[in-house]
Amino acid sequence: MAGSPSKPRALFDDDRTGIIYRTAARIIYEKGFDATSMSEIAEALDLTKPGLYYYVKGKKELLYSIMGFAMDLLDSDVVEPSRQIADPEERLRVIIRLHARLLTHEAGALGILIDEDGGLSDEQREDIVNRKRDYFEFLRRTLEELRESGRLRQVDSTVAAFSLLGMVMWIARWYDSKGRLASETVVQDVTEIALAGMLMPTSAQPSMSLAQAL
């Protein structure tokens, strides 16, 4: 599982940049960005310092690459598989399930670092903020579509989208893949809680309840 072993097993396979970013994310998360040196990251990867510089230009560039990598994963594993789903309720269910699954499988550090952009340049930060905003708007528009079809609770869609994000992003902070809870239990329960929090209860449609009861 990502984030558990300190030494990568397959640095020279196709996923070498992924391994570098995940390992670096874990060290930066544990020690703080300022206190982490490129030497430590190289050592954890069994690379020489010049070896590490072959893959990354410098520490600031590395942090930006880690965040870009995390956003790429979000795009490929969550946004791409869900964006074509026409029904907003089904789309929302798939978004939450896939995002929760990504966070239970990936190193927690990757999910947490994405919000700690203090080490980026202004230009780098702007790029990451824009990519996050795109995802937020994807969520919010899905909620607005739910509202149009009468299925969203009477809540502000911005508050609702941030509540969803908080619930899901928090997984990176508390879930331990070596603990008691299977990742699919977490994915299933978070999806149920999040959807129930968003959707109008069916009992709020009295004519349907009546029809069902009779």
The residue ranges that bind a second copy (CB under 8 A) are 30-35, 115, 118-119, 153-156, 158-160, 162-163, 165-171, 173-175, 180-181, 185-186, 189-190, 192-194, 196-198, 201-203, 209-210, 212-214
Least Å distance, CB 2 to a second copy, is 20
**In this complex, which beta carbon is closest to a second copy, that of residue 6 or of residue 185?**
185
- With beta carbons less than 8 A apart as the criterion, state whether 8 and 19 touch: yes
158-163: long-range contacts, CB 8 A cutoff, minimum separation 24? 160/197, 160/198, 161/136, 162/136, 163/197
Can you tell me which residue has the tokens 């970013």?
21
59: nearest Cα among 78, 79, 80, 35: 35
**In this complex, which beta carbon is closest to a second copy, that of residue 178 or of residue 180?**
180
Least Å distance, CB 201 to a second copy, is 5
- With beta carbons less than 8 A apart as the criterion, state whether 67 and 115 touch: no
Least Å distance, CB 170 to a second copy, is 3
**In this complex, which beta carbon is closest to a second copy, that of residue 19 or of residue 74?**
74
Least Å distance, CB 12 to a second copy, is 32
User: Using DSSP, how many helices (H) and how many strands (E) does the chain show?
Assistant: 12, 0
**In this complex, which beta carbon is closest to a second copy, that of residue 71 or of residue 194?**
194
Least Å distance, CB 152 to a second copy, is 10
- DSSP secondary structure letters along 58-75: -HHHHHHHHHHHHHHHHI
